Structure formats: structure tokens, C-alpha cells
DNA sequence: TCAATTGTGGTAGAATATTGCCACAATATT
DNA sequence: AATATTGTGGCAATATTCTACCACAATTGA
């Protein structure tokens, strides 16, 4: 499949995640604790280095007290 | 983590996917062709048997010509 | 009736995410 | 100055998805 598009999607998701985290004044380690994830993983996710599973999305949403769909609420053009 | 919640999340996503697919009058095999996925995989996803990656979500969204976030637009309570 | 389509279930190998840990430079705090 | 915190990167082991098949019962259509 389109590798750039996938890469871009991961990056967009990461940026969105960062937005939520920073807005709540959380560090990687603080969010990690709430999510039951390792802090280094969150770093990689925010940088778009990982193609995470939706179960992990759920973890993140829980930690941020947000609905999962909010983490996908960013502008994204499917065809380019 | 909460295994039931994760399971429920996958199932909800699957149902949402089914909604979109059926609304467009597509069979598993037809959607699979558009998504560059195997039809048996889509069956498993709709039944909530797989914890898919967001890259796969993107594939499905492309095939359905929908924004990825729409596939997560279902009611879901984080605490229960 | 015969052929095609559909949803479902299984399998096996390759690829990738997850988990848990460590270490370090840069920055912030006391 | 000394200490704590933060973001980042790497690593190994385990778990899971992904990919590409095949097969079959049930339904649909000609």
C-alpha cells in the first residue's frame, strides 16, 4: 500500500496525541503510568514511529480521559 | 489491561465497519479488493477477533472512502 | 438444476508491535 | 552546585498481526 500515506497517518496521530497530552500538562512518564504503557513507547508513538494497534489507542484514550475517536479527529486527506 | 473493555472495543469497531460496508452494498470480497486486504481478514475484523493496527484502519477507510475517525464514531463508555 | 457468490473458519510463515528494561544528554528544580 | 525530571534511543524476548492461501456450508441467481 501507499507507504507515505501510512507514514503520514501515523505522524498525524502522534501529533494529535501530543496535543492532548500537553494540554493536560502530562509528561511521557505521567501518561505512561495512567496508560499502563512504557514511557519510551509513547515517545515513539508521538513521533509516528509505530503502527500501533487499536487496543493501544484505547489505552491512550483511557489515560487521557478522551473518546478514542477524538484521537483521530485531525485533518487528513485520503487521496494524495 | 481490562480485557473485556478491549474486546468490547474491537467488537464495536467491527460493527461500525460492517455498517459502512453494508450501507455501500459491498461484500467482504468486494471491500477486500478495494482495501488490498484478504476477505477472510475483514470477516475476522468485523467479528472483533483481531486487534488491528491503525495502518489497517487507514486501508479500510480508504476502501470505504471515509475518514478514519468515522470508523471510530460509535458510542463507547470508557469506564465500566 | 447448476453455477456463482457469500460468510466463515482454518493454517503457516513472515513481519511487526508489545513489553520491560537500560542509559544518556538536556533541561528544570531545589 | 547538586538533584530530579524529561525526551530520546536502543535492545531482547514474547505476542500478535499480516498475508495469502484453502475449504466448505448456505444462499443467490441464471
Tell which strand C nucleotides have any atom below 7 Å from a protein Cβ: 5-11, 16-23
Q: Across the interface, do B61 and A67 touch by the CB < 8 Å criterion?
A: no
**A57–B52: do the CB atoms touch at under 8 Å?**
no
B80 — pLDDT class (breaks 50, 70, 90): low
Where do the structural domains in chain B lie, given as residue ranges?
A: 3-68
B14-42 pLDDT, tens digit each = 999 999 999 999 999 999 999 999 999 99
Q: How many C-alpha atoms does A69 have within 13 Å on its Cβ side?
A: 14
Phi, psi dihedrals of residue B53, rounded to the nearest 5°: -90, 160
| Site from B36, B38, B49, B69 to mutate, A interface, most A CB atoms within 10 angstroms | B69
CATH class of the domain whose range is B3-68 = mainly alpha
Q: Which residues lie below 8 Å from residue B34, measured CB to CB, with a gap of 6+?
A: B26, B62, B63, B64
Fold of A3-67: 434 Repressor (Amino-terminal Domain) (1.10.260)
Amino acid at each position: 500500500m501507499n507507504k507515505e500515506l501510512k507514514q503520514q497517518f501515523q505522524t498525524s496521530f502522534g501529533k494529535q496525541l501530543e496535543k492532548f497530552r500537553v494540554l493536560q500538562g502530562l509528561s511521557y512518564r505521567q501518561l505512561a503510568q495512567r496508560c499502563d504503557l512504557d514511557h519510551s513507547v509513547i515517545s515513539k508513538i508521538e513521533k509516528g514511529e509505530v503502527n500501533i494497534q487499536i487496543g493501544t489507542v484505547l489505552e491512550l484514550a483511557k489515560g487521557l480521559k478522551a473518546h478514542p475517536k477524538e484521537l483521530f479527529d485531525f485533518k487528513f486527506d485520503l487521496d494524495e
